[in-house]
Chain A
């Protein structure tokens, strides 16, 4: 399997994602520059963490106009797997590929620490290797990770089992403790925690690998 890792000016977890896929997962990975209009022959796309375009205007607001995002939208519309991590999640909500928005943490502080996540559904290509209810230890690192959406959207997300991860101890004020959501077709996920930072044994937890492994298994059975 080949993972494409999109690189925006200001991405800073692109190499971590690349490393996790190559070294920890043992699959192929290649970088895709933000002004590329094509993704190339990739099986899945990762929008990595960082501060694309310096987070100017709003997090993800400028990145959504990148040429590569048109290609990402087409890829997602065709059923391709898209994983948005942290800033990647912010870009996906700005681009309208996922509902809701991410705003300044309730406590105003940049939070950088390990958190515990409850896997709310195993029925997704990103959590197929997990058990529903399984608790994962994965770090967060963000200043604007407070997930918000209107009540109707939240009810819809819950009813359709699209809240994929919830914080056990909410670090940022996200409504209903939401840490990650799926789109309606379940092939696009956005999450604030960083699975690529919990993939190498050296980092203290390899729970993040479960997400990448789920993707590989979903692609193998597609």
Chain B
């Protein structure tokens, strides 16, 4: 089983890297790009013997306590069998 965790800055937090990328794209001719937000992506492999329930519980806790700082970031999890 694999889990994918997508971490992004909360919409209220300034993302100067995203803004710089957006400006670069615009000046490159991609004038339709109105916003870019940069985030992080984690691919986590779990032991095949792990139960679905435990995997969901653990990955949720890990995403909350380790992979993100709740003051500035939010996350989304996907599971792949």
Binding site for B on A (CB under 8 A): 57-58, 61, 93-94, 99-101, 103-108, 146, 148-150, 173
Chain B interface size range: 10 to 19
Flag if B20 contacts A148 (CB, 8 Å). Answer: no
Q: How far is the CB of A28 from chain B (nearest CB, A)?
A: 35
Among A93, A94, A108, A148, point to the contact of B13 (Cβ < 8 A): A148
Q: How far is the CB of B74 from chain A (nearest CB, A)?
A: 13
CB-CB under 8 A from A150, the residues of chain B are 12, 71
Among A57, A99, A104, A149, point to the contact of B17 (Cβ < 8 A): A104
Chain B residues 18 to 35 lying within 8 A of chain A, measured CB to CB, are: 20
Q: How far is the CB of B13 from chain A (nearest CB, A)?
A: 6
Q: How far is the CB of B57 from chain A (nearest CB, A)?
A: 20
Q: Measured between alpha carbons, how far is A100 from B70 in the docked complex, in Å? A: 10
Flag if B72 contacts A104 (CB, 8 Å). Answer: no
Query: Which residue of chain B has its CB nearest to the CB of A65?
Result: B66
CB-CB under 8 A from B16, the residues of chain A are 104-108, 173
Flag if A103 contacts B72 (CB, 8 Å). Answer: yes
Centre residue among A57, A106, A149, A173 by max chain B CB count within 10 A: A57
CB-CB under 8 A from B14, the residues of chain A are 103, 106, 146, 148, 173
Contacts known (A106-B16, A108-B16); A93 close to B71, Cβ less than 8 A:
yes
